[in-house]
Amino acid sequence: MKKLMFLMVVVLMATSCKDDPDPLPPFIARTIFITSAEITEWPKVQPDGTGWDLTSAPDVTLSMDDGTTILFQSSVSDNSTQATFNYPVAKTITDFTKQHAVGLWDEDSPDDDDLMAFYTFTIKSYVPTNSNPQRTDYPSVLEFNTKVGFKVKLNVIWQE
């Protein structure tokens, strides 16, 4: 009888212990939607210390490309002295391995525009590497900083 009671207690304990609930299925992003770009710092003068334009502040524009196609080109902020810029983008990217570049330009017409600063990146470098990624593991902001004082934030939404 004692053996039977012991066996019943063991069976009861074994069947009443539940494992943690199943983990959520992984969230695997297939696309990234860029909602906006924010420039939070930019070089006010050229590397040699001279201004971007001879008689005025630079005419700032932001662009993004994938090496072959311009994905985004902002409007021009003429004679800009503002500290930050915020541009709506609304662009979807599906190739996470392709090299992308974000460039800040001083528009000079009719002359060639001056490249003020740029940053190259791949979306893949922002994808979580853990074995069961969740939506919260993906950053909502991609931040770029360069040595010349160019800082950009891309606000993004990752999609399956």
Q: Would the pLDDT of 85 be above 70?
A: yes
Asked if 4 and 12 count as a contact pair (C-beta separation under 8 A), the reply is no
Asked if 84 and 38 count as a contact pair (C-beta separation under 8 A), the reply is yes
Query: Strands 151-159 and 31-41: what pairing?
Result: antiparallel
Q: Would the pLDDT of 1 be above 90?
A: no
Band the pLDDT of 70: cuts 50, 70, 90: very high
Over residues 45-51, the mean pLDDT reads 90
Q: Does pTM top 0.85 for this prediction?
A: no
Over residues 118-133, the mean pLDDT reads 94
Spatial distance between the Cα atoms of 92 and 31, rounded to a whole number of angstroms: 7
Over residues 1-26, the mean pLDDT reads 58
Spatial distance between the Cα atoms of 58 and 116, rounded to a whole number of angstroms: 10
Asked if 28 and 160 count as a contact pair (C-beta separation under 8 A), the reply is yes
Predicted local distance difference test score (pLDDT) of residue 20: 55
Q: Which domains does the chain have, with CATH numbers?
A: 26-159 (2.60.40.150)
